[in-house]
Chains A and B, each alone.
Chain A
Amino acid sequence: MGSEVDGSRAREALGRFTRRQVLELDTCAHCALCSESCPAYAESGDPNHAPGVRSSRAVRLFNKHFDLRARLFGPRRISEAEVSELADSAFHCTLCGRCMEVCPFGLQTHELWSRVREVVGELGGTPPTVGMLGGMLEESQNPYGLEPDMRLDWADYTDLDEVPEREEAEVAYFVGCTTAFKGVNHEVAFSVASILNRLGEDWTLLGEDEWCCGSPHLLSGDEEGARVFAEHNVAALESRGVRRVITGCAGCFRVFKWEYPRLLGRVPDFEVVHAVEYLREKLASGELDVEPAGERVSYHDPCELSRLGGVVDAPREALGYLAGDFVELPEHGVDVRCCGGGGLLQATDNEMRLAIARVRLEQALELGVEVLTSACPACKLAFVDGVRAFDMDIEVLDLMELAARQLGLL
């Protein structure tokens, strides 16, 4: 018999499922209607990666401590093998929330799977590559373990003229770690900053005072860690009198807009907008005047911006000004098929991440797309890595880069 998890530890961990989540676990009919839509299961074909199987495994563990039998006769043992099985399922998931979109009962799986990750973490099942994140975030306030003073290196690399770090400003550009630290995204930051400069905004960067938004904490199941980072970022922004926070990262946007109020128990004293919403606003008002691109352009909805963030129309309206030949990808909007870049999948199974990205890239190529845009640095990274890995002929740009290019800024 394999090793077992300590009973009281298991009870405490499993007791973290909230009322709604227990209700959801009980409601899941294990009907498998979500399986075919899951990008992770579609690539691996491993039943353990199917969302419904994750639900079965999670409720089975929960029942060992909280069903009627456990209440009458005491909890049953949980083996480490069971925890590993659930961990394998929970971390082979991009947390894209597509299973929620097809679930007949509308189970809010994005949050449910995050909770499963938290439970798995407390039972010692977090994969080591994900577990390392916590240490790096604590030490460097970013998930890449890079020195905080490297946060503005993108400005040097891109020769950005004006890099404001003000004590007070109306607008703050929250760059986000994957944009600031990943070279492939430096021009995204440059594009946003250049557009803010072009429009003469009273804006600032937080520089080293910008900490990770807390998304990796939430994705790895560390809600408390996310809360600490949320408190820091909100204090840094509010102390500068910022009224509007602009971010080009879909993950940062979702966490700032939808998770911070929950984590902090209050709505921060500023508005949160994604850069594409800001861009749409400025294009529609005529403050920015662009020549549309001649290439065939398409747009991939980042899951965290569309399905989990509520921003679906703004990028398309912006592309109405930016692209002369726009085609819609299949499986778009709130029903978007994930690019593979989410859920920390790169840390647990990069091959799966690339295979998922490949499907999306092939969908674009079939439509003759020359420029595939998105509005998330993780999506761009996944697509760029996919293009390199599979030697594909398609240009990958963030929508803000396309805008900067058409404005003659890039």
Chain B
Amino acid sequence: MNGVVAALYAFFVEKLPYITIAVFFVGVAVRLRRWLSAPRDPEGPPFNILTALKYVILDLVLFRKTFKSDRWTWVVLVLFHVGVGGILFGHMRGFHLWTAEMFAPLGDWVAEFLVHTLPVYMGWMFLATQVVLLFRRGSLENRQLVSLPNDYVALVLLLVTSVLGQGMRVFPPEAVPPEVYSVVFIPGLIVLHLEKVPSHHWFFLHVLFTQLLVMYIPFSKLVHVVSGVVTSALYGSRRREYGV
């Protein structure tokens, strides 16, 4: 690895995380300001937490409405979101939020499958569903939808990040150290613990694109992860008020 690349890779790990966090929170502030500076709505139907939960679970977790209107898209959406959840959960192990030993009571084979085999398949599935969703968007473009640039930017960023992440599993690691290998992003706060030293290029580019994605989230359509919960809960309250 030449000096420039090494310096760049060091920057991705040692400095960029601070910029990422700053941009992310500035983005959140900008987004909140955009919403809060709009005029208040007239008083709506009374908010009911149980109704809100019901609609969030049915419509956002189970995608009830998509199931009714388009079964194939429902299958892809469910697999895509399961992939998101699985991958986020998997990454938490690297940050010591859970350990492989937790699955030991299930037996060696199950633990091995859950910790090492399943994530590989989930990665492929996640990639495949992204390609399908990207293809779907492209095929409906100017027929049933008109995308904004950020619809594509978010999808492409996610896809590149995922390809790089999956590449780390596919390409052979640099080394298997005797002890856990730690990557310190922010000392004492964000430290990644790895069993293997991954292929450097794939790893550092994955780190870069992950951070670009995190920075982009508040400015992108991915805010629907949060705002969708609010709109779904408000829709539920309205339905409850109408008694339907």
Contact = CB atoms under 8 A, between A and B. Distances in A.
A102 interface: yes
A37 B55 contact: no
A29 B65 CA distance: 15
A41 interface: yes
Contacts, number: 141
B138 to A, nearest CB: 12
A19 B35 contact: yes
A24 B63 CA distance: 18
Interface in B29-73: 30-31, 34-44, 55, 59-60, 63, 65-66, 68-70, 73
B148 A27 contact: no
A176 interface: no
B69 A33 contact: yes
B232 to A, nearest CB: 5
Contact of A310 (B40, B151, B242): B242
Contacts of B63: 104
A387 interface: no
Interface string A249-276: 0000000001000100100000000000
Contact of B147 (A15, A30, A307): A30
Contacts of A326: none
A170 B69 CA distance: 46
Contact of B41 (A20, A56, A312): A20
Nearest to A31: B145
A281 interface: no
Given A56-B148, A101-B65, A105-B231, A33 B73 contact: yes
A104 B43 contact: no
A62 B14 CA distance: 38
A102 B40 contact: no
A59 interface: yes
B238 to A, nearest CB: 6
Contacts of B238: 108
Interface stretch (A46-54, A76-84, A186-194): A46-54
A392 interface: no
A53 B38 contact: no
B243 A106 contact: no
A344 interface: no
B143 A47 contact: yes
A156 B235 CA distance: 45
Nearest to B73: A33
Contacts of B221: 26, 29-30
B224 A56 contact: no
A30 B30 contact: no
Contact of A36 (B34, B70, B142, B242): B70
B42 A23 contact: no
B84 to A, nearest CB: 14
A53 B146 contact: yes
A105 B236 CA distance: 10
Contacts of A308: 242
A306 interface: yes
A310 B230 CA distance: 22
Given A30-B146, A68-B30, A108 B140 contact: no
A20 B219 CA distance: 18
A18 B231 CA distance: 13
Contacts of A17: 38-39
B234 interface: yes
A68 B236 contact: no
Nearest to B56: A106
Contacts of B148: 30, 56, 59-60
A337 interface: no
A108 B227 CA distance: 13
Contacts of B42: 262, 265
Given A23-B231, A36-B70, A105-B228, A67 B34 contact: yes
B190 interface: no
Contacts of B228: 27, 104-105
A103 interface: yes
Contacts of A101: 65
A108 B42 CA distance: 14
A52 B151 CA distance: 13
Nearest to A308: B242
Given A104-B65, A105-B224, 9 more contacts: A18-B40, A20-B44, A26-B224, A27-B227, A27-B230, A29-B224, A102-B69, A105-B60, A107-B235
23 contacts: A18-B38, A19-B35, A19-B38, A19-B39, A19-B41, A20-B231, A20-B234, A22-B35, A27-B228, A29-B224, A50-B144, A53-B144, A53-B145, A57-B146, A102-B68, A104-B65, A104-B228, A105-B60, A106-B236, A258-B242, A262-B42, A308-B242, A312-B244
A-B pairs, top 6 by smallest CB distance, nearest first, are A106-B235, A310-B242, A35-B144, A32-B144, A32-B145, A27-B227
